[in-house]
Amino acid sequence: MKPTPGKLLLVGLGPGAPDQLTGRARAALDEAEIVVGYKSYLKLIAPLIADKETVGSGMRQELERCAEAVRLAREGRTVALVSSGDVGVYGMAGPAFEVLLAAGWHPDADEITVESIPGVSALNACAALVGAPLTHDFCAISLSDLLTPWKVIEKRLKAAAVGDFVTALYNPKSSKRTTQIVEAQKIFLRHRAPSTPTAIVTAAFRDDARVVLTDLAHLLDHPMDMETTVLIGNSRTFSQSGVMVTPRGYADKYDLERIARNPANPDADADGDGIPP
């Protein structure tokens, strides 16, 4: 008898609050027989998986988690391998596919089916809490040099700064890794004004969330850790009334004040004197 096909669900949990889970992610957790993940992330969704078998492990055990999830799926089980944020953005989808492919997996010839389920990434969640800083071109760079040499990270930081990209910095600081964010600030200050709006968001949408709007010059004055994402604006990003906004260029083409005064007929008061032409 042919064994029952197993299923590996790669699930993005979003920032951690249950109401930030996508509908498909929640359905995947319901569907799964076993949930595999970093222990801290399993705690975030504990009420949703109380009736499930769980396999948790610590930091730097990503490949072991992937291998165990694949092994369980090969037994014919439906397994959810969970990751915070989006599973494909600094998440578990990459190492999971690497493990699968190293073992000879092919979607058309294997007993495991794999589905990658996106979630709200940290940069999206953090941006939503501070306004609209990612409305124009942006990039994301992790400052963790555990797997990527610092020289490579430094090269990417310089490229982002020179290219005037709004930049999201992941993993800015840990208890042992404290110099990378200092070097990143130095690189950006060579190409951006000290007054460049900068947001520091920690544990977005969780009960202990911290949100700080500051500027590039004062970036290092505020606490950061591995749950923090830093958003550095580009040369046109501005902060006003407690929000950080990166314009796309509408104000260069349109009279925003006139449109705001009369959105149904913006040409009714073209000269702004209160009298229609």
Cα(70)–Cα(91) distance, integer angstroms? 16
Cα(265)–Cα(259) distance, integer angstroms? 8
pLDDT tens for 133-171 read: 999 999 999 999 999 999 999 999 999 999 999 999 999
Q: Do 183 and 146 share a structural domain?
A: yes
Give domain status of residue 270, yes or no: no
Helices 93-102 + 62-74 axis angle, to 10: 60
Q: Do 135 and 104 share a structural domain?
A: no
The rounded mean pLDDT for the chain is 91
Residue-number span of the structural domain to which 68 is assigned: 6-120
Give domain status of residue 275, yes or no: no
The CA-atom distances, in angstroms, between 232 and each of 159, 217, 267 are 14, 11, 36
Give the model's pLDDT for residue 275: 44
Give the model's pLDDT for residue 107: 86
Can you give the CATH number for the domain in which 145 is found? 3.30.950.10
Give the model's pLDDT for residue 271: 52
Does 277 score more than 70 pLDDT? Answer: no
3-class state of residue 106 by DSSP: coil
Provide the number of structural domains found in the chain: 2
Q: Do 98 and 21 share a structural domain?
A: yes
Give the model's pLDDT for residue 67: 95
Closest by CA position to 227, among listed 154, 174, 168, 181: 174
pLDDT tens for 250-275 read: 566 667 677 777 776 656 555 554 44
- Confidence tier at 118 by pLDDT (50, 70, 90): very high
Cα(229)–Cα(175) distance, integer angstroms? 16
Domain boundary among 92, 120, 148: 120
Give the model's pLDDT for residue 58: 78
- In this structure, what DSSP letter does residue 66 have? H
Does 5 score more than 90 pLDDT? Answer: no
Q: Do 193 and 113 share a structural domain?
A: no
Say if CB 178 and CB 156 are below 8 A apart: no
Question: Strands across the sheet with 138-142, in order?
Answer: 138-142, 166-170, 228-232, 197-202, 210-215
Can you give the CATH number for the domain in which 67 is found? 3.40.1010.10
Closest by CA position to 8, among listed 125, 124, 87, 123: 87
According to DSSP, the residues that pair with 35 across neighbouring strands are 54, 80
Give domain status of residue 258, yes or no: no
pLDDT tens for 217-238 read: 999 999 999 999 999 999 999 9
Cα(145)–Cα(151) distance, integer angstroms? 9
